[in-house]
Amino acid sequence: MYKKTYQATHPDMMEGVSNEQLKERYQVEGLFSDDEIQLFYSHNERLVIGGIAPVKGPVRLPDHSEPPSAAGQPYLSRREMGVFNVSENTGSVTVDGEKISLAPKEALYVPMGSKDVVFESDNKPVHFYVISAQAHKALPLKKITVDEAKPLERGSLEESNERTIYQYIIPGVCESCSLLVGMTELKPGSVWNTMPPHLHDRRSEIYFYYGFDEDSRVFHFMGEADKTRHLILENEDAVISPPWSIHMGSGTSNYKFIWGMAGENLDYTDLRGLDICQLH
């Protein structure tokens, strides 16, 4: 059922790793394929990300097919999920018979216990990005528009990092068990995200980069603060950030990214900031 499984890693495993090995362990490619669901499993907080691209008709979230102990159970029997419309077109998600329209930049929180989840495009194909974490109770199904998300204005054009951080699945906006999810949009002329860089000692995070053309790239920086490495990402690639790894990036143009994390708490401010001068 999973296109690829990513193991949790120790920082010592960065020593002597080639660029291809680095990419193999942390970079997620190929999230979207017409009329299919592509799911990727990370043992960091047991996060799952995926892409759904309905073109010819509806696409249904499958039941578990493995391991044998879980086979046949609804996918969200012990999980919650965030769904984002990351395209320029409008689609819908139907959860146990309730159909919810999602325009560009709109999100949906799908709770634990949901049995039947179906994704559809309207007149033009839509790309839905999903991120899922373990859950312990059923909470309300909720749609979040960009106007309902909590905006944080950060950075400046002079520092090439003027951006708006939209908090979608976060306390005070949408209740969840362990997911924290939002979208950051860089203003034209800005290319740096998450500046200054930071660490989440109590959470793991995944960045999904999108909203730039095929000739542009994002350079994503990771690793320990004194042993940084980088990955080069295309549009609609993602990167897994373990708790010991910094995360920040710079693009050849402005872009957007979905940030999603899970761990011990739901405190967005629980992070360890680093000065850029600390990095090596």
pLDDT the model gives residue 81: 98
Mean local confidence (pLDDT), 38-67: 95
Instruction: Report whether 51 contacts 235 (CB < 8 A).
Output: no
Supply the CATH classification number for the domain 4-278: 2.60.120.10
Instruction: Report whether 81 contacts 110 (CB < 8 A).
Output: yes
Strand pairing class (79-85; 107-110): antiparallel
The residues, ordered by sequence, that sit 6+ positions from 120 with a Cβ below 8 Å of its Cβ are 54, 57, 58, 59, 91, 92, 93, 94, 126
Give the tokens for residue 268: 């967005």
The dihedrals phi and psi of 12, each to the nearest 5 degrees, come to -60, -20
Separation of alpha carbons 270 and 237, rounded Å: 26
Is the pTM higher than 0.85? The answer reads yes
Instruction: Report whether 141 contacts 76 (CB < 8 A).
Output: no
Predicted confidence band at 186 (pLDDT cuts at 50, 70, 90)? Answer: very high
Find tokens 């909203």 and name the residue: 211
Beta bridge partners of 228: 223
Q: Where exactly are the structural domains of the chain?
A: 4-278
Instruction: Report whether 161 contacts 192 (CB < 8 A).
Output: yes
pLDDT the model gives residue 135: 97
- Position 165: which residue type? I
In order of 32, 126, 147, 186, 187, the CA distances from 161 in angstroms are: 28, 29, 22, 7, 8
Separation of alpha carbons 96 and 31, rounded Å: 25
Q: Is residue 196's pLDDT more than 90?
A: no
Instruction: Report whether 203 contacts 263 (CB < 8 A).
Output: yes
Helix (H) or strand (E) holding 247: strand 247-251
280 or 131, greater pLDDT: 131
Give the tokens for residue 238: 């993602």
pLDDT the model gives residue 69: 80
Mean local confidence (pLDDT), 42-63: 97
Find tokens 């249904």 and name the residue: 60
Separation of alpha carbons 234 and 208, rounded Å: 10
Separation of alpha carbons 207 and 215, rounded Å: 20
Q: Is residue 225's pLDDT more than 80?
A: yes
The dihedrals phi and psi of 79, each to the nearest 5 degrees, come to -135, 160
Give the tokens for residue 66: 């493995």
Separation of alpha carbons 19 and 87, rounded Å: 30
- Out of 12-16, 68-72, 231-235, the most confident range is 231-235
